[in-house]
Amino acid sequence: MSEANHQPKMRKAVYPGSFDPITNGHVDIIKRGLKIFDRILVAVLENPKKKPLFSAEERVSMIKEIFAGQKNTEAKAFHGLLVEFAKKNDAKVVIRGLRAISDFEYEFQMALMNMKLDPEIETLFMMPNLSYSFLSSKMVKEIFMLGGCLKDLVPDQVEKKLREKFKNKHPSLNL
């Protein structure tokens, strides 16, 4: 094929999760993923059953704010099957972060189930920097509620939103 006709295919991946809220560990995975893919679509699970602290719109808006001006990263809320969402958005790869061996069983099960649902979709596991291997959204919320320091754990925008959220939920807390 001549070079003029050869349009390189855009490599696009979906990075799904609850992101309640997004942490520096997630940001690290997105940045690493962008070394491999041209575009990353951060897919925020809209699942009211999980009773998230932030609504899907709030979680998407935080991610958009953090990656503002970066055309290679976008964020959308989704519900239903991940493989359907990936297909609808022209992505054939799902990225998941693996922090520790303890993540493996759940991730392995999910990757194999997604493979069964759609063999065209591949799951790619990536490891965050060691300094984020202990980090989770659940821990971030707990540390924040107990007055601990979130420095280096979440982007500034997230800390600000946590402050606003807890001020509204618990006005008596001196935040």
Cis peptide upstream of residue 171 (ω within 30 degrees of 0) = no
Please indicate whether residue 26 is annotated as part of the active site.
Answer: yes
Judged by the rule CB under 6 A, the positions of this chain that interact with ligand PNS are: 16-18, 45, 81-82, 110, 113-114
Query: Whose Cβ is closer to ligand PNS: residue 110's or residue 126's?
Result: 110
Query: Whose Cβ is closer to ligand PNS: residue 17's or residue 122's?
Result: 17
Catalytically annotated residue among 50, 51, 116, 151: 50
Catalytically annotated residue among 59, 96, 99, 161: 99
**Maximum Cα interatomic distance, the chain, rounded to a whole number of Å:** 68
Query: Whose Cβ is closer to ligand PNS: residue 36's or residue 81's?
Result: 81
Cα–Cα dist 61/50, whole Å:
19
| Residue 173 tokens, joined | 């807390």
CB of 18 to ligand PNS, least distance (A): 4
Please indicate whether residue 137 is annotated as part of the active site.
Answer: yes
CB of 2 to ligand PNS, least distance (A): 41
- Give the distance, in angstroms, between the CA of residue 69 and the centroid of all CA atoms in the same chain: 18
Q: Is 89 exposed, middle or buried (0-12, 13-18, 19+ CB in 10 A)?
A: middle
Residues annotated as catalytic (active site), given as ranges: 26, 50, 99, 137
